[in-house]
A and B are shown apart, each in its own frame.
Chain A
Amino acid sequence: MEAKTVRNLFLAENSIIGTGAFLLGSLVGTGLSGLLNQVVKNIFEVPHTYQVSFSLQAWAVTFLFFALMYGFGMLRAAKIIRHQKVIDLLYDNRKNEEYRFKSCSRSLLVVLLSIAAMVAGVILLGRMLQTQTNEAFLYLGGACLLILVGVYELHRQIPLLLHRFAKQNLRHKYKEENLFFLGQIGRRIHSAGRTMAVVAILLTISLATMFVGLTMGAGYKANMKAYYPYDAGVAIDAPLEKSNMDSIVSFTEEHCGVEDSVSYYLYAVPEKPIEALSLSDYNHLREILGLSPVSMSNNEFLVHCDTWNYMDGIRQGLAQQPEITFNGRTLSAAETPILTEPMEQYQMAGTKGYVLVLPDEAASQFVGEKIRLAMKLEDGGYPELKSDLKQFLNSGKWQPELQSGQQLPEKVTMGVTVKAWGVANSLTGFTAISFCGLYLSIIFIILSCSVLAFEQLSAIDKNQKNYAVIDRLGVPSHRQASLIRRELSTVFLIPLLFPLLLTVLLITGAQFFFGEAILQQGLVPLYGLVTILLFCAIYLTYFGATMFLFKRVILRPEMR
């Protein structure tokens, strides 16, 4: 057969396979996209139903990119085939076995440079986080490039070095079947080393994007609950009469149903850096939030703090000073002295991240210098309510009155919060990032695992022959099974090493820089762990499936 005919056969075969794969991929991708969309909306607690979305434009763009990449690769291979001799076509696969050892010192130098590149990348990431201008993107790009180049080179050089060191240690090399194992691994490292390094890069990106996607979703939920626990709230830092809030409730009722509401004061505690809430108001707020009321005696107090980073300080303060005295009256800490449910404590239930809850009688001795209104609305209200309420408060129709004997402060702060508005305005960005993160991670995991699995299974005939040789040489079946496990574990674990290490670094860095901004303690490490476990579950499934197929083909039926 002429080389030209071989080339044409190759082109025809690969065109059919490629087209089939693209069509199948389009179908699966469209389905997966709908499924992931559902997962992400579920994370953000957005009402959703499964629906398949298909965009002809998106499909056409995908096809264009596919055709460019696949077509380029195919045509390049076809060109090589056209210019090859038949003898080369038959035996070229053996050229993979031509080991080209680089000097040990050169490999070590590349390893050191790779580590330096990765460290420099991490430093640039740190600089990026401290930069507020567009320069940050430059740092980000540089950091990603350095880290990925580092990951690639480390995965190219370290297996080579380890393999070489293992072969130089004669006791290890000549121990039982180690020689066979080293041969098998050596072949993979030399002929598929680049593939494994690229897989390592894909896995790094995959782990990072999955971590960002999951943490962003969970962080959003945690912060959302803390920032918007009430359907609507009005906060005015002035000693107004409670009756002033009735007209706000009436105004709201004209636009949407108000199921429940509470007007209350944040009392100023003399000589203490804390505000106070009366127990009845506090319990009413709890009722609105669907929490059970708390009870305490008239000589007790408690602290409500939904911000984890103040918790240690409050605990220490209560341990040092379990009693407080106001106007000659001493109160002791309640049986449960600290409560932590999300109540929004920077505007509504306090302004410092925590609040003191006092018996009504004790609280009434102080001045209610800030007034608040919290409402529970039918169907959660609507986003435009925020602007409607602001317009009402500033329109002049609302004429507030001060409590008797109190003066208007020099500067009055007024705030309106509406949960529906908050959800509508922050969800889009978060869901988009989270969706992209999860989608990319799953695509990259599938891609990497498929490449690894394919790499193993495509060489299965050669492996079958090699294992048949050691079978004849008298290696027992359980040792052969153990060798297969070792071989596949090594091939699957090598590309996983640095991605996992980098992810741990990423989790640590994220906790260091963003941990305090997320209003749920330990959320970043928790979702870092979830990321790693989820990733490992998918990865190990692929590993298990490859192992199963590998053993099934390589081992004789009685040996499996």
Chain B
Amino acid sequence: MKEILKLDHIQKYYGNSGNVTKAIQDISFSVQEGEFVGIMGASGSGKTTLLNCISTIDTVSAGHIYLDGTDVTEINEKQIARFRRENLGFVFQDFNLLDTLTISENIALALTINKVPAGEIDGRVREMAGKLNIMDILDKYPYQVSGGQKQRCACARAIINQPKLILADEPTGALDSHSSQMLLSTIQSINEDLGATILMVTHDAFSASYANRILFMRDGAIFTEIRKGGDSRRTFFEKILDVLTMMGGGMSDVR
């Protein structure tokens, strides 16, 4: 399989010389095309910082990040915007939908920003909405739909441009268990049926069990990683819990 993402000894420091906080110490790993990778760790372990660096929202202090061969740490501000537009899809805990637009328009926004011809947009939005089962809410505004529906809308927006990598930051963090399950199934189907590469940050073992591979972070470094392989999701879930226990996380890390 093709290597889509490669992190090469990246480090991220905050503060000045007198008071340095090491958010990411020295991380290297790679993600293959079509993989569904979870990143787990306690609060403050650096997982969101890592995601922000990969998504070019934040910059690294040292090291390199390659996405499909492009070193994203070397491109300028103007190229970064284009890079994000063409290569990345985002799903956030708080949905990040625009209250000013309908669900349909929120999804279409990603296409218009990518300069997709106006004639194609409505068709592509409807097609994506059909796949994610949100056809009936297309004309509603975000405040009129449930959290799960909002997050599916966010997923539709993230994948409609067929990005090389989808970055999800605690996508189930604001959802109830039923909506979480539905959303995770959706993300899984996006990965399996549409072949999307997904990098999902979560501290929820249940959510992480939907991934194929989990990277565990502690104090800004990769502590260990486990792969699902041929295991069932239940077995994989138990493995995740074992690792979390081994990492010394408190009960708050094991829901």
Contacts and interface: CB of A to CB of B under 8 A. Distances in A.
A242 interface: no
Interface stretch (A150-158, A306-314, A332-340, A466-474): A466-474
Interface residues of B, number: 35
Given A174-B118, A183-B105, A559-B77, A475 B113 contact: yes
Interface string B114-135: 1110110110000000000000
Contact of B109 (A175, A179, A468, A476): A179
Contacts of B77: 476-477, 558-559
Contact of A466 (B83, B100, B118): B100
Interface in B51-99: 55, 57, 77-78, 81-86, 88, 90, 96-99
A364 to B, nearest CB: 86
Interface string A471-489: 1111111100000000000
Contacts of A170: 118-119, 121-122
Q: Interface majority SS on B: helix, strand, loop or mixed?
A: helix
Nearest to A186: B100
Given A477-B81, A558-B77, A177 B112 contact: yes
Interface in A286-335: none
Given A97-B143, A174-B121, A469-B98, A474 B83 contact: yes
Given A174-B121, A175-B112, A466-B98, A472 B143 contact: no
Contacts of B116: 174
Contacts of B109: 179-180, 470, 473
Given A174-B121, A175-B118, A559-B77, A473 B113 contact: yes
B100 A474 contact: no
A560 to B, nearest CB: 12
Interface string A153-183: 0000000000000000011011111111001
Contacts of A476: 77-78, 81-82
Contacts of B184: none
Given A97-B141, A558-B77, A474 B86 contact: yes
Nearest to A91: B143
Contacts of A397: none
A477 B90 CA distance: 18
B84 A174 contact: no
Nearest to A181: B100
Which among B82, B96, B114, B116 has the greatest number of chain A C-beta atoms within 10 A? B96
Given A187-B99, A476-B81, A476-B82, A470 B113 contact: yes
Contacts of A411: none
A170 B111 CA distance: 13
A94 interface: yes
Nearest to B141: A97
B143 A94 contact: yes
Given A97-B99, A177-B113, A187-B100, A473 B118 contact: no
B105 A179 contact: yes
A183 to B, nearest CB: 3
A180 B85 contact: no
Interface of A: 94, 97, 99, 170-171, 173-180, 183-184, 186-187, 462, 465-466, 468-478, 558-559
Interface of B: 55, 57, 77-78, 81-86, 88, 90, 96-101, 105, 108-116, 118-119, 121-122, 141, 143, 157
26 contacts: A97-B100, A170-B122, A174-B118, A176-B113, A176-B115, A177-B113, A179-B108, A179-B112, A180-B98, A180-B112, A180-B113, A183-B98, A184-B100, A187-B99, A466-B100, A469-B96, A469-B98, A472-B57, A472-B96, A473-B109, A474-B82, A474-B88, A477-B78, A477-B81, A478-B78, A559-B77
